Amino acid sequence: MDTDKFDRYVKSTMDSWHCPGASICIIREDEVIYQRAFGLRDTEKRLPLTEETRFPLGSVTKSITAMSAALLVDDGLLDWDKPVLHYMPEFILDDAYATRHVTVRDMLSHRTGLPRYDFASWRLNLPVSEFIKRMRFLKPSATFREKAQYTNIMYYAAGYLIEKIAGQRWDEFIAERIFSPLGMTASNFGPAFSGTDVPLAKGHRIERDDEGKFNRWTQLPFNRYTELSPGAAGALYSTLTDMIKWLKVHLGDGKFGDVRLVSKANLKQMHMPQMMIPTNDMGYAMSGLTMSAYGLGWMIRPYPYAAGTMISHDGTIEGHCAIVGFVPESKIGVIVLTNAYAPQIPHILLREAMDRARGLPSQDWSARFHQTYAPIFAAAGKGNLVSIEASQGSTPMSHPLEAYTGTYTSPGYPDFAVKLENGKLYGCTVGSMPWSELNHQVLNTFEWIASDWSERIKTRFVIDDNDEVGSVSLALAEGVPDIVFTRKPIMLSPETTSAISGAYDGDVEGLVFSISGKDGKIYWQQMNEPAIEARPCKFDGSDLELRVSQSRVLLIQTDRKFTHLVLQTPKAVYKATKR
């Protein structure tokens, strides 16, 4: 292999795809035949990237989680094909048949019938045990074992299963049973690192203009890493040096040097196809393949250019993209770590490295990917323009902006909150996705810009029988109906309930209104009529608004005390002063 030529090819690929930094390694048999670091780990401070720079590897984590399960199978504590319910009685899905039959093999090969459901869990600060209880509310989009549907949530569940069986946290189990025996001293599951001072690559989002051309980099922060998420599905941090040791285990039939990490039989289980996946048009255009498969923590594809099978897994997170791949028949493996959100780059360099390591002529995978993706980038730029234009001159919304604000709830999901700030609406999944803009489209339909995923989510507010915004539906998962979140009632504290309770004398002689509280509810009474329930619909810490049937009551504070109210009925407006 001509390493100088490959150096030039890597640099050219990084330039044309606008990648700040990359670490690359090629292994043949047990020998590292190529190991380099290129570019910058931090574009703002102009800091160089080295082979010891730590990267987040995203979903490459899944192969390590699957290895953890394999170790427990080796220990005789776990069976690939025994129902998870045997080990984890709290594991209950919406589909009763799936609940009774899902195995760890099903969980790790994405064939439980559940779609991604990332918005139900991403970055959520919730114990995994509590999330397991929520899973029963998540509807399947396919029947059990019908097809592979890539999802993170089953890997969260697999991590919890490992904890239940091993009697220790999944990350501690991995540190003890995988990182320590392999000497992976710079690897862990989050950006914070308690070992020696190892530099960390900063992630970058590639910003493109309306024609899809490169505009600039935006350096991204490291977001929250919770017990749940990215967790066992995507929290791995490591270096090129450490990942070489991991890859050698897979090229060495489960051994690294004299260390037998996993049995050959259970390593083979991980590398075997478990669920077939039809290749989409993009995959066919790039490789001519019509079929691939998912193993246990690994993607498996025929690789005609290497006369064998490509086993790999990529990962994208926080402006970083990585891939680890190998061809068992030729004992060649490749690692590519990058700090730009451009998933094409690791795949380009993986394929080019594989070809050159086998002495094959270059197929210029970079040029082939450019040819395929250039029109996609251009279309995406135009799509952004169309989205902006759609909100200009469209049918106006039915209610003022503040009517859409509040907190909405749906079983199985974190709450969805909406706030008004500087004349714009913003939405977030509480404790999960950050606040990001809700762009008005038409009438009560908006587009939520989910920044963590660079996605535009259709968001439709629904007006109830009281002419209020009562719920909101969001298109959060493929293959299932939009998720409906109902407005969450405002719960008043006992102190606030006491403060508003009492009699109010109206501005019409003899007209008296009364407010009282009982069992956590608010009741409204006019003169000698029966008391009816009043629903708090807005409370900003000062003024409080109640909904009473078709009427609204605004309770107003003076010097931090509720002193009077305004009653707005369909026919008239009344004012009253508290006694």
CA gap 278, 268 in Å, rounded: 23
Give the end of a domain, one of 471, 487, 503: 487
Q: Domain containing 262 — which CATH number? A: 3.40.710.10
DSSP states of 315-355: EEETTEEEEEEEETTTTEEEEEEESSS-THHHHHHHHHHHH
* In the predicted structure, residue 57 carries a pLDDT above the cut 70: yes
CA distances to 400, 436, 448, 495, 503 from 544, rounded to whole Å, are 18, 27, 28, 13, 16
Average pLDDT over residues 447-455: 82
Helix (H) or strand (E) holding 69: helix 61-74
SS3 390: helix
pLDDT in tens, 498-540: 999 999 999 988 899 999 999 889 999 998 899 999 989 888 7
> Are 219 and 87 in the same domain?
yes
The percent of residues in the chain predicted with pLDDT above 70, rounded, is 95
Q: Is residue 383 in some structural domain? A: no
Whether 96 and 123 share a structural domain: yes
Q: Give the per-residue pLDDT at 305.
A: 61
Residue type, 576: A
Structural tokens at position 472: 């909101």
Each residue's pLDDT tens digit, 288-321: 676 789 999 999 988 766 568 999 999 999 999 9
**Which domain, by its residues, includes 558?**
494-578
**What are the pLDDT digits (tens) for 244-282?**
999 999 999 999 999 999 999 999 999 999 999 987 766
Q: Which amino acid is at 306?
A: A
437: left (phi over 0), alpha (psi -120 to 50) or beta: beta
Give yes or no: residues 60 and 163 share one domain. yes
In the chain, count H helices and then E strands: 15, 31
263-268 — which CB contacts under 8 Å span 24+ positions?
263/70, 263/74, 266/70, 266/73, 266/74, 267/70
**Mean pLDDT confidence for 393-406:** 84
385 within domain boundaries = no
Count of residues making up the chain: 579
Please tell me whether residues 14 and 64 are part of one structural domain.
Answer: yes
- What does the pLDDT look like over 321-354, one tens digit per residue? 999 999 999 999 999 999 999 999 999 999 999 9
- The pLDDT of residue 354 is 93
| pLDDT, position 455 | 84
Among 466, 487, 508, the domain-final residue is 487
Which of 234-238, 333-337, 419-423 bottoms out in mean pLDDT, i.e. has the lowest?
419-423
**Is residue 407 located within the same domain as residue 371?**
no
246 phi/psi in degrees, rounded to 5:
-65, -45
- 372 and 506 in a single domain? The answer is no
Q: Is the pLDDT of residue 390 over 80?
A: no
Domain of 465, CATH number, reads 2.40.128.50
- Looking at 438, 454, 487, the residue that finishes a domain is 487
176 in the same domain as 47: yes
Instruction: Report helix, strand or coil for 476.
Output: coil
For 244, other C-beta atoms within 10 Å of its C-beta total 21
pLDDT in tens, 8-47: 999 999 999 999 999 999 999 899 999 999 999 999 999 9
pLDDT above 90 coverage of the chain, percent: 74
Distance, CA of 298 to CA of 62 (rounded, Å): 8
Strands 275-278 and 291-294: antiparallel
Kindly state whether residues 435 and 508 are assigned to the same domain: no
CATH code of residue 510: 2.40.128
394: in domain: no
Whether residue 178 is predicted with pLDDT greater than 60 in this model: the reply is yes
| Contact predicate 34/18, CB 8 Å | no
* Per-residue pLDDT band at 224 (split at 50, 70, 90): confident
- pLDDT value, residue 285: 62
Residue 384 forms part of a structural domain:
no
Nearest residue to 143 via CA among 118, 106, 89: 106
Residues 261 and 356 in one domain: yes
**Average per-residue pLDDT for the chain:** 92
Indicate if the pLDDT at residue 386 is higher than 80: no
Is residue 527 domain-resident?
yes
Quick one: 224 and 261 in the same domain?
yes
pLDDT at 269: 98
Please indicate, yes or no, whether residues 363 and 285 belong to a single structural domain of this protein.
yes
* pLDDT given for residue 383 in this prediction: 63
Residue 195 lies in a domain: no
95 within domain boundaries: yes
Higher pLDDT, 380 or 117: 117
**Tokens encoding 196:** 């020696």
The verdict on 249 and 302 lying in the same domain is yes
- Beta partners for 6? none
What sign does the dihedral 436-437-441-444 (CA atoms) show?
positive
Q: What is the DSSP letter of 401?
A: G
Is 125 part of a structural domain of the chain?
Answer: yes
Per-residue pLDDT at 392: 53
If one counts the domains in the chain, the total is 3
Considering only residues 196 and 348, tell me which one the structure prediction assigns the higher pLDDT: 348
